Structure 1
């Protein structure tokens, strides 16, 4: 793909991103025209509009932007590091680790729901650490197969524990079921702001890893010939991916298919596997998918909502199947 075509694809992605951001602020159970949104931002409109826009929808939109970008970039890193097209943040048990930690905090410890963000972050990071430790415990070191198996084991155990805790405590199940389905509702600036420095560091790390991952895609022997250390590259990419995915889980709960499908969409649009290009486009498309699903969920069942995680699964699954069929037809 030529430079002009890549710029065109990137431009369309930016337009789509701006569109869903505006829609996320304006659309909901109470729809507001853009002029009223702008008035609420400037503080010149009635109090109700100002409250809806500044206290509810803007923090929710920012959380969707951050979580969507983190999940998509995490998926790119995991797929590149493992050379596994089905790799995603769920591969390392991050989503199930975050969900289990929230259930423990609410059901067993009786902590308020406000601690769910930090419980999810710690739980997701701990689960990923256990999966990485298991994957690197053998004599052969880290390998894609060991990583997949380790992640599957950790996810299965955590999912079973989570279901057991919810079955034993119906009150806790009601408190966390909405979050476990994956939702941006109820997010506020206090939950998002402390995590932004981690996001910046992780995104910078992913950018630096793009070149080594390109070398790794050629095979371990070729990567060594190009001066790279495959095990070190995989480990660093895994750590950065863990950090990004843990932040996303902390903000939005276990969101399905964003980290899995978006990298495939980016590669299909770019017709390229260069990680730097795929990372940039994925960082824009991830929020488009997540915020788009969140917007649909707000209006599909007014005055209630359908969780974004439910809709990303409905949107992402057929899209991934279509990409797989197209890849098979062209291979």
Structure 2
């Protein structure tokens, strides 16, 4: 009598797709539940006023989550490295330098009293111009230029940090407190007009990127493979990088820098969904980002009663994950 030894059944493509759909549905339900809890838990006084203010914060978190998810996944695809994020290019440090220079040259009172739309426009233009100059200057027909781009971004980020420290030492101590509020991400003082504008820009860019997803799946296989399959690698990469620059600039100018949020949600989305296809990973990363922002802020405010910025906690946890990924990367 003989026995046939068989291994575990391999899920079919349809079964894997069903599991991923269920995962996204669960994440969506959790995100909606977190949003409902954020809107209603701990409300005192006028419900109309509380819901109006909190709904604005929820909308800002959703806009930032979508921008962070798209930009991080796209950037990791272009660089073919899952431990890199757009923030490593120095966008967040340039944002802090802009705030520091504004307070130093104009004064904290002038900066805070300036029309938010003017400040938003200046910050977005500066950040997009920075990214555009980097991409236009360095990109040629070789894949190696991506790594030169990343290296230059690290160097420029360090330079921006040094300039920020130098200028901050020359600022009046009283104005330095105002600068600290401007330099950290905050969802408490989002201007409604800027929120609408940011949502429109993020929506347009996200819709344009969505059409590139099939080609980005091929680009993720490598430059030679993409060219062999008929994909215009350079054009797709350039479009993706322009989208990354715009999304990061809008999100950072709207609420401030959140350095490691994208690293967390992009890698967790790939783990949960078990795929690298952008049509699955990007929605998963966006839902995880919404859940992290809403749930984290809710817990921080209602459970622990902290008044500190959520970005501090996210950057702390993200830094630990970043180190863990660096340690594991050579073994993969």
Same fold (TM over 0.5): yes
| 1:64 paired to 2:61 | yes
Confirm or deny: 8 A CA contact 1:63 1:184 kept in the other structure.
yes
| 1:228 paired to 2:226 | no
Using the size of structure 2 for normalisation, the TM-score is 0.85
In the alignment, which residue of structure 2 is the partner of 1:155?
157
| 1:22 paired to 2:24 | no
| 1:112 paired to 2:115 | no
| 1:103 paired to 2:95 | no
In the alignment, which residue of structure 2 is the partner of 1:86?
83
Tell me the alpha carbon deviations over residues 56-98 of structure 1, each in whole angstroms, 9 at most, x when there is no partner. 2111111111112211211000000110212212122221222
- Taking the TM superposition and a 5 Å limit, the aligned residue runs for 1:300-315 are 302=305, 305-315=307-317
- 1:314 Cα deviation (Å)? 2.8
Distance 1:242 1:102 in 2: 19
* Aligned residue pair count: 311
- 1:132 Cα deviation (Å)? 2.0
In the alignment, which residue of structure 2 is the partner of 1:127?
130
SS of 1:50 mapped into structure 2: helix
- 1:134 Cα deviation (Å)? 4.4
Shift in alpha-carbon separation, 1:309–1:10, aligned structure 2, 3 A: same
In the alignment, which residue of structure 2 is the partner of 1:242?
245
Confirm or deny: 8 A CA contact 2:63 2:198 kept in the other structure.
no
| 1:272 paired to 2:275 | yes
Shift in alpha-carbon separation, 1:207–1:265, aligned structure 2, 3 A: same
In the alignment, which residue of structure 2 is the partner of 1:40?
none
- 1:327 Cα deviation (Å)? 7.2
Confirm or deny: 8 A CA contact 1:127 1:154 kept in the other structure.
no
SS of 1:183 mapped into structure 2: coil
Residue segments in structure 1 that go unaligned for 5+ positions in a row: 37-45
In the alignment, which residue of structure 2 is the partner of 1:4?
18
Residue segments in structure 2 that go unaligned for 5+ positions in a row: 1-14
Using the size of structure 1 for normalisation, the TM-score is 0.85
User: RMSD across aligned C-alpha pairs, in angstroms?
Assistant: 2.5
Distance 2:206 2:252 in 1: 16
Shift in alpha-carbon separation, 1:211–1:261, aligned structure 2, 3 A: same
Distance 2:326 2:157 in 1: 24
Return the match for 1:167 from 169, 176, 180. 169
- Once structures 1 and 2 are overlaid, which stretch shifts more, 158-167 or 271-280? 158-167
Return the match for 1:49 from 25, 38, 47. 47
Distance 1:104 1:324 in 2: 34
In the alignment, which residue of structure 1 is the partner of 2:8?
none
SS of 2:189 mapped into structure 1: coil
Return the match for 1:187 from 186, 190, 195. 190
Confirm or deny: 8 A CA contact 1:78 1:241 kept in the other structure.
yes
Tell me the alpha carbon deviations over residues 8-54 of structure 1, each in whole angstroms, 9 at most, x when there is no partner. 10011101211221122234xxx12xxx8xxxxxxxxx6x3322221
- 1:201 Cα deviation (Å)? 1.2
Confirm or deny: 8 A CA contact 2:83 2:325 kept in the other structure.
no
